[in-house]
Chains A and B, each alone.
Chain A
């Protein structure tokens, strides 16, 4: 795969990719110590700037990106960070009347405003910021579309209001509120918020394994990966990953099967439960609904479960998770996951890694990939857990499930609010921080509506139509 084939959605992703690729290439071919000086000049050769005011600013931003590609601020536990200098200090005026206002006689804006915040001064609409509640009705009503809502894309994308503007007008992330969902990473049009990369740690791990002789390095891949293979088949991507030096590729869907089984049994005991597989969603509950924490399932996430299975059969193994998720980069370091996962790589990073090593998936042969069942594989989409759970419950003779699917933090908040105040009629809550589920994760290479089709297709291709055999495997590890 090469970038000129347009594998990424945005130019921001391409910049990030170019930096990562260059860093990874140097980690293998040498020259990493000169990365800060040389890479910016490679990516921004000048003399004319590409997007910013001058080439020097562009290069400085690239330097900051290199820092993040090499691990970022070690003292900041949040995998998502703001690159101060890249933040373009976007205006955030809220409702704004543009010069397109003609001062018409109708002044629909004034009529529609529920707070009486609009007055007409010198034949021009004026908004009283004190009264305005930013409902946006005026913007919709204006026949000249002269009223706009000016918000920072990062702040709009952040559903937990963790992003504020500091005294220098730069975006600032409040770690106490942030759930590391990564929405802002994908949404900032200047690429000023980005995820840290641990890819150098992974390279180190692979090198020290001495071709998997000292210990084996496994790659656990998230089911969302099938929607990311625009060039080449998923089975070719498996071969490509192995060519990077991984001993074996295992599907996280296997762990997902077991998570489903555990959750069905756990629900039977508790009667009221919410899922634990999305680390951002779990963090959201912990930070906003502490009284509901007791309802979070105690089953570990599919990522952790798969890693535990691997380490049971191969105790010295190292396990790297490859997924679409920024939050997993925080989850694997949490104490509660017990070091099951050794490192996390994003799909974007995987693409950079493959290209830096000159591995073209299209040229790779097929390697079979089949560990999880149909249900484990559709975990990647919103609603997948509930779909699986209902069937598992039927098999286990668990009755009385009333599930609800919550896609995106806004839906999660609304339904958890109902639960908190005893208004919820459901008793099983599936929560995912990304709208649509993991297949829309922030670190996906593409965010196409086609992703869901790919995930369903992949699910149907699974040899196992039930989770029964995966569970057997799990039972064996317990004996």
Chain B
């Protein structure tokens, strides 16, 4: 199971994080990976100037959100580029 966290902190909220969540819901359905991905919301993931931030963590990692090689941050997500970013950055990581 891969966890995707969409930031819903103040900054990302103002930049439309709820639209991104909606977009991801659609995408997961479209790619038929709803069972393989746990879509979650998270409070601030950092990088407020680069929102909306999405974090895809495909590893059994530490629960505290930390910057590291095993955690992927994707910046500047919006509802229009969500699919493109998903296909490019997240889909290959899924253990399908």
Q: How far is the CB of B87 from chain A (nearest CB, A)?
A: 22
A255 to chain B, nearest CB (A): 12
Count of A-B residue pairs with CB < 8 Å: 61
A463–B42 Cα distance when bound, in Å, is 18
Known A216-B65, A314-B63, A370-B10: A248·B18 in contact at CB below 8 Å? no
| B40 close to A313 (CB less than 8 A) | yes
Total contacting residues, chain A, CB less than 8 A: 30
- A-B CB contact pairs (8 Å), 20 listed: A213-B64, A214-B64, A215-B64, A216-B64, A238-B10, A250-B10, A310-B43, A313-B41, A314-B42, A314-B43, A315-B63, A369-B10, A370-B13, A370-B14, A371-B9, A371-B10, A371-B13, A463-B13, A476-B39, A476-B41
Give Cα distance in the complex from A218 to B43, angstroms.
10
Chain A 239-258 interface mask (CB, 8 Å, partner B; 1/0): 00000000111110000000
Is the CB of A469 closer than 8 A to any CB of chain B?
A: yes
- B1-51 CB contacts (< 8 Å) to partner A: 5, 8-11, 13-14, 18, 21, 38-44, 48
Chain A residues at the B interface, C-beta cutoff of 8 Å: 213-216, 218, 238, 247-251, 309-310, 312-316, 367-371, 463, 469, 472-473, 476-477, 479
Contacting residues, chain B, for A248 (C-beta < 8 A): 9, 43-44
* B18/A469 in contact, CB under 8 A: yes
Q: Which residue of A lies closest to B5 (CB)?
A: A313
Contacts of B44 in A (CB 8 A): 247-248
Q: Are A463 and B14 in contact (CB under 8 A)?
A: yes
A479 to B25, CA, bound (A): 13
Residues of B within 8 A of A314 (CB): 42-43, 63-65
Chain B nearest Cβ from A459, distance in angstroms? 16
CA distance A218 to B42 in the complex (A): 12
Asked if A367 meets B65 with Cβ closer than 8 Å, knowing A248-B43, A472-B18, A472-B21, the reply is no
CA of A146 to CA of B72, assembled, Å: 78
Which of B39, B41, B63 is packed against the most chain A CB atoms within 10 Å?
B41
The answer to whether B41 touches A473, judged by C-beta atoms less than 8 angstroms apart, is yes
Known: A310-B43, A313-B42, A314-B43. A368 touches B63 (CB 8 A): no
| Most chain A CB atoms below 10 A, which of B5, B10, B18, B44 | B10
B89 to chain A, nearest CB (A): 20
- The distance in angstroms between the C-alpha atoms of A52 and B14, with both chains bound, is 53
Most buried by A among B8, B38, B43: B43
Q: Which residues of B have CB within 8 Å of A312?
A: 40
Q: How far is the CB of A374 from chain B (nearest CB, A)?
A: 14
Which residues does chain A contribute within 8 Å of B40, judged by CB atoms?
312-313, 476-477
What is the CA–CA distance of A313 and B53 in the complex, to the nearest angstrom? Answer: 14
Whole-angstrom distance between the Cβ of B39 and the nearest chain A Cβ: 7
Q: How far is the CB of A184 from chain B (nearest CB, A)?
A: 36
- In the bound complex, do residue A476 and residue B21 qualify as a contact, i.e. CB atoms below 8 Å apart? yes
Question: Is the beta-carbon distance between A371 and B65 smaller than 8 angstroms?
Answer: no
Complex CA gap A463/B21 in Å reads 17
Which residues of chain B are within 8 angstroms of A249 by Cβ–Cβ distance?
A: 10
CA distance A367 to B42 in the complex (A): 18
The answer to whether A368 touches B10 (Cβ under 8 A) is: yes
Q: How far is the CB of A444 from chain B (nearest CB, A)?
A: 23
Q: Please report the C-alpha to C-alpha distance between residue A367 and residue B14 in the assembled complex, in whole angstroms.
A: 12
Tell me if A371 and B8 are in contact (CB < 8 A): yes
Of A238, A250, A472, A479, the contact of B43 (CB 8 Å cutoff): A250
Chain A residues, Cβ within 8 Å of B8 = 371, 473
- Tell me the bound Cα distance from A316 to B64 in angstroms: 7
Distance (Å) between the CB of B94 and the closest chain A CB? 18
Interface pair A368/B41, CB less than 8 Å apart: no
Bound together, the chains give a CA A479 to CA B43 distance in angstroms of 17
